[in-house]
Amino acid sequence: MNRFFLLADRLEKEHRLAPEEYRYLLDHRTAETAEYLAGKARAVRERVYGRDVYIRGLIEISNICKNDCFYCGIRRSNHRCRRYRLTEEEILSCCAEGYALGFRTFVLQGGEDPYFTDAVLCPLIGKIKASCPGCAVTLSLGERSKASYQALRDAGADRYLLRHETADQAHYERLHPAEMSYENRMRCLEDLRAAGYQVGCGFMVGSPGQTPENIVADLKFIEGFAPEMCGIGPFIPHNATPFADFPAGSFRLTLFLLSLLRLIHPGLLLPATTALGTIHPRGRELGILAGANVVMPNLSPVSVRKKYELYNNKLCTGEESAQSLVDLARRMEEIGYRVVTARGDAVKFNEKVEVDQHETL
Ligand code: SAH
């Protein structure tokens, strides 16, 4: 067990470990070692970001998807899914509502809906940037061509979230139909980087077939790719997918991995995800206490929220955005953190450790 603490201390200083060393940490996860790691992760996060929690307004623009990922509730083969697509007016009105509440980042997420061509998205991004001065636009719209990523970036998009899902090719193939490829996923991440985005990758914890070696591969990939953002959350089954009967991923393992990621990249923007909040009533709070520093409240119109059902029982209060923000701010205050309205770009660790004072919400 001594070795666990030595390795954790070294990870904190050097921000990297050998695969076998990550494996050792994973194999020696106990309540005690997890708390040791979380304590370190909190200290590191506080040095870089203080106790500020950044909020991102999530707008689920469409649940229409041409892909058929085995884990996902909005896959094209799920004929029970009631499909919707927000209009430009609806999206802009979600942004306006969020802006008035203090949101300075809007995340446009959706299935791979062919309707959202560059010709549709570029003017929309321009309108969001013009009507919400100083905001950041994050896209999470799946795999696109290099030219498309560049066009959207040129139109003003700042960040792009595209989880790699797993850094192991065979495992990737277990999670996706043959028409999708690990190679293309990785190509997309490289193209996003080249286009000048702040890039987010990430993976599900406990997805079917995931082994400890796969998780080590994910950690090594993230260590090397050095994304600005990283989204991880437990896999949660959806009853109308081929993975309906698989168990959900481990809540505690997810927290443990959040702590490891914080030590690997101190300046990482690391959300306590909706999936984490779904499998545990205090999931988001415990995620923050494990080293996360971002939460992504839902700004989608209340009428469509239930339809963006990636997995069963997805956290979705019927509340208006304003009310859920008040609730979230209170939850964060209760654990000694504060929700801030700053744009919250990634801090390049080593370049800037002092952070500005932000307006408290
Ligand atoms: N079409 C976009 C957005 C996908 S939804 C894209 O491809 O990036 C965002 C993330 O939700 C996915 O990347 C996946 O990691 C996660 N997700 C999907 N189904 C899930 C499930 N059943 N359990 C947990 N997370 C899931």
- Closest CA to ligand 1's atom 24: 235
Q: How many other CB atoms are found less than 10 A from the CB of residue 68?
A: 17
Is residue 360 in a domain? no
CATH label of the domain that carries residue 111: 3.20.20.70
What is the spatial distance between Cα 88 and Cα 92, in angstroms, rounded to a whole number? 6
Average pLDDT over residues 239-252: 98
Is residue 358 in a domain? no
Q: In the predicted model, what is the mean pLDDT of the chain?
A: 95
pTM of the entire predicted model: 0.95
Q: Which residues line ligand 1 (CB under 6 A)?
A: 71-72, 109, 111-112, 140, 142, 162-163, 165, 204, 233, 235-236, 238, 275, 310-311
pLDDT per residue as tens digits for the range 198-226: 999 999 999 999 999 999 999 999 999 99
User: Residues with Cβ < 8 Å from 33, sequence gap 6 or more?
Assistant: 1, 4, 5, 8, 25
For the ranges 31-40, 65-74, 260-269, 336-345, the lowest mean pLDDT is seen at 336-345
What is the spatial distance between Cα 339 and Cα 30, in angstroms, rounded to a whole number? 30
Nearest atom (ligand 1) to Cα of 111: 1
Is residue 351 in a domain? no
Ligand 1, residues 163, 238, 315: which to mutate, most atoms within 8 A of Cβ? 163
Separation of 166 CA from ligand 1 center, angstroms? Answer: 12
Q: How confident is the model at residue 350 (pLDDT cuts 50, 70, 90)?
A: low
Average pLDDT over residues 293-302: 95
Q: How many other CB atoms are found less than 10 A from the CB of residue 214?
A: 19
Q: Whose CA is closest to 269, among 298, 297, 299, 291?
A: 291
What is the spatial distance between Cα 283 and Cα 18, in angstroms, rounded to a whole number? 30
**What is the 8-class DSSP label of residue 267?**
T
- 97 φ, ψ (degrees, to nearest 5): -65, -45
Separation of 74 CA from ligand 1 center, angstroms? Answer: 9
- Closest CA to ligand 1's atom 2: 142
Is residue 198 in a domain? yes
Q: How many other CB atoms are found less than 10 A from the CB of residue 260?
A: 24
- Closest CA to ligand 1's atom 11: 310
Q: How far is CA 263 from CA 175, 187, 198, 268, 346, in A?
A: 28, 26, 20, 9, 15
Q: Whose CA is closest to 292, among 46, 70, 79?
A: 46
- Closest CA to ligand 1's atom 6: 142
Is residue 325 in a domain? yes
Residue 315, Ramachandran bin (φ over 0: left; ψ between -120 and 50: alpha; else beta): beta
Separation of 151 CA from ligand 1 center, angstroms? Answer: 24
Residue 13, Ramachandran bin (φ over 0: left; ψ between -120 and 50: alpha; else beta): alpha
pLDDT at residue 250 in the model:
98
What is the spatial distance between Cα 58 and Cα 314, in angstroms, rounded to a whole number? 14
In total, how many domains does the chain have? Answer: 1
Residues 81/240, Cβ–Cβ less than 8 Å: yes
Helix runs in 102-181, H state only: 118-131, 146-154, 169-175
Residue entry with tokens 């007016």: 89
Instruction: Say if residue 360's pLDDT is above 80.
Output: no
Nearest atom (ligand 1) to Cα of 112: 1
What is the spatial distance between Cα 254 and Cα 179, in angstroms, rounded to a whole number? 29
- 170 φ, ψ (degrees, to nearest 5): -65, -40
Is residue 83 in a domain? yes
Residue entry with tokens 């470990």: 17
Instruction: Say if residue 346's pLDDT is above 90.
Output: no
One-letter amino acid at 40 equals: K
pLDDT at residue 356 in the model:
43
| Pairing status of strand 338-340 against strand 52-55 | parallel
Residue 359 structure tokens: 């307006």
pLDDT per residue as tens digits for the range 150-201: 999 999 999 999 999 999 999 999 999 999 999 999 999 999 999 999 999 9
What is the spatial distance between Cα 118 and Cα 169, in angstroms, rounded to a whole number? 30
pLDDT per residue as tens digits for the range 300-337: 999 999 999 999 988 887 778 888 899 999 999 999 99
Please calculate the CA angle 145-305-141 and round it to the nearest 5 degrees.
5
Separation of 352 CA from ligand 1 center, angstroms? Answer: 32
Output the DSSP codes for 278-337: HHSTTHHHHHHHTT--EE--B-S-HHHHTT--SSTT----SS-HHHHHHHHHHHHHHTT-
Separation of 72 CA from ligand 1 center, angstroms? Answer: 6
Nearest atom (ligand 1) to Cα of 275: 24
pLDDT at residue 361 in the model:
46
Separation of 65 CA from ligand 1 center, angstroms? Answer: 12
Residue 135 structure tokens: 């905001």
The residue range of the domain holding 282 is 2-340
Ligand 1, residues 65, 67, 72: which to mutate, most atoms within 8 A of Cβ? 72
Q: Can you give the length of the chain in residues?
A: 361
Nearest atom (ligand 1) to Cα of 234: 24
Between 205 and 342, where is the model more confident? 205
- Closest CA to ligand 1's atom 10: 163
Is residue 285 in a domain? yes
Is residue 102 in a domain? yes
